[in-house]
């Protein structure tokens, strides 16, 4: 369980601002740093790029300030009652982490601060804990994939939005040309970005999404297989049957009889 004591979103401080705690803080401090900054944690000094995060452990001395101009950040004072928390998340403590998609973290900070301040009392603690667990897990993932996040930062948010759109309506006629235009890149470069960012080729990912959607319709409706093929984005029933069997080893009819629940999206 997590406890959030205080927090701020899009905080701004004038030139010359310095925050210094030579004895540290009684709890964890989670910062999303939005200005190029100088940060000292214990004896270590860091020049931190904007759109970076840092989680500082309790009782660790620290100081931070903007390198020039105003200083901006999002921040949370929090703690955990879980005895394994410090060990489970040790790798993200007391070191800056450059974020591939800082807007993702900003949205969660806004939600955490709102829930901790204004949610009904009976839901507040649980809501805050779930949201903070997600954002800490995401930061751990960013730490583990730091190089990838840096390379594709300009495209991260838009690529995620495109993939979510595909996931929401896989039956639509998505093409590399159409999606590349949304990113203002060439179709070939779009396909390179997609594969390198998500670890699966665009075409394979779309097929998996369509087959996953078809699987649900096969098991959960009484629609005919021909209807399901059309509703899943296939104009050719034979093409649908062939791809479905390649993925499952069964025809759609055999799959319906088996009642087997299986997701294809993790298969590449």
Could you read off the pLDDT of 154-180 as tens digits, one per residue? 787 788 889 999 999 999 999 999 999
What is the DSSP code string of 192-205? HHHHHHHSS-HHHH
Residues 213 and 29: their CA atoms lie apart, in Å, by 42
pLDDT number for residue 160? 86
- Decide if pLDDT at 104 tops 90: no
Mean pLDDT over residues 120-147, rounded? 91
Cα–Cα distance for residue pair 83/88, rounded to 1 Å: 10
Segment 15-49, tens digit of pLDDT: 999 999 999 999 999 999 999 999 999 999 999 99
- Coil, helix or strand at residue 220: helix
Provide the phi-psi class of 238: left if phi over 0, else alpha when psi is between -120 and 50, else beta.
Answer: alpha
> Pick from 139, 140, 124, 135: which is nearest to 5 by CA?
124
Query: Is the pLDDT assigned to residue 268 strictly greater than 70?
Result: no
**What contacts 221, CB < 8 A, 6 or more positions away?**
228
Quick one: pLDDT at residue 102? 83
Q: What percent of the chain has pLDDT over 70?
A: 94
Contacts of 24 (CB under 8 A, 6+ apart): 56, 57, 58, 59, 60, 61, 62
CA nearest to 96, candidates 48, 44, 150:
48
Q: Is 137 helix (H, G, I), strand (E, B) or coil?
A: helix
Q: What per-residue confidence (pLDDT) applies to 264? A: 55
> What pLDDT does residue 148 have?
53
What's the start-to-end Cα distance of the chain, in Å?
36
203's tokens? 């075409």
Q: How far apart are CA 164 and CA 157, in angstroms?
A: 11
Q: Residue 211 and residue 243: Cα distance in Å, rounded?
A: 8
| 165 Cβ contact partners less than 8 Å away, ≥ 6 residues apart | none
Does the pLDDT value for residue 139 go beyond 80?
Answer: yes
Using alpha carbons, select from 86, 92, 29 the residue that is nearest to residue 63.
29
Q: What's the CA gap between 11 and 73, in Å, rounded?
A: 5
Which pLDDT score, from 0 to 100, does residue 144 have? 85
Tell me the whole-structure pTM to 2 decimals: 0.70
What is the per-residue pLDDT across 41-93, written as a single tens digit (0 to 9) for each? 999 999 999 999 999 999 999 999 999 899 999 999 999 999 999 999 999 99
Angle between helices 153-168 and 187-198 (to 10 degrees): 90
Residues 108, 104: Cα–Cα separation, whole Å: 7
- Residue showing tokens 């009889």: 257
CB 74 within 8 A of CB 104: no
């Amino acid at each position: 369980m997590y406890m959030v004591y205080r927090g701020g979103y899009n905080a701004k401080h004038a030139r010359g601002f310095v925050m210094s705690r030579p004895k540290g803080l009684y709890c964890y401090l989670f910062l999303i740093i939005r200005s190029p900054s100088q940060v000292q944690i214990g004896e270590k000094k860091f020049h931190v790029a904007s759109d970076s995060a840092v989680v500082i452990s309790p009782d660790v001395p620290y100081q931070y300030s903007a390198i020039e101009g105003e200083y901006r950040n999002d921040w949370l004072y929090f703690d955990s009652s879980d005895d394994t928390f410090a060990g489970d998340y040790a790798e993200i403590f007391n070191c800056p982490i450059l974020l591939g998609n800082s807007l993702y973290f900003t949205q969660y900070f806004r939600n955490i601060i709102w829930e901790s301040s204004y949610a009904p009392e009976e839901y507040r603690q649980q809501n805050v804990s779930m949201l903070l667990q997600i954002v800490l897990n995401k930061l751990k993932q960013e730490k583990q994939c730091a190089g990838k996040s840096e390379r594709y930062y300009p495209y991260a948010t838009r690529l995620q939005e495109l993939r979510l759109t595909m996931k929401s309506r896989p039956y639509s006629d998505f093409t590399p040309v159409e999606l590349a235009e949304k990113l203002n890149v060439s179709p070939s470069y779009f396909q390179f970005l997609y594969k390198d960012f998500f670890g699966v080729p665009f075409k394979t990912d779309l097929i998996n999404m369509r087959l996953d959607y078809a699987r649900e319709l096969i098991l959960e409706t009484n629609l005919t297989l021909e209807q399901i093929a059309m509703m899943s984005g296939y104009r050719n029933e034979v093409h649908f049957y062939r791809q479905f069997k390649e993925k499952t080893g069964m025809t759609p009819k055999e799959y319906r009889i088996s009642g087997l629940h299986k997701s294809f999206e993790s298969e590449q």
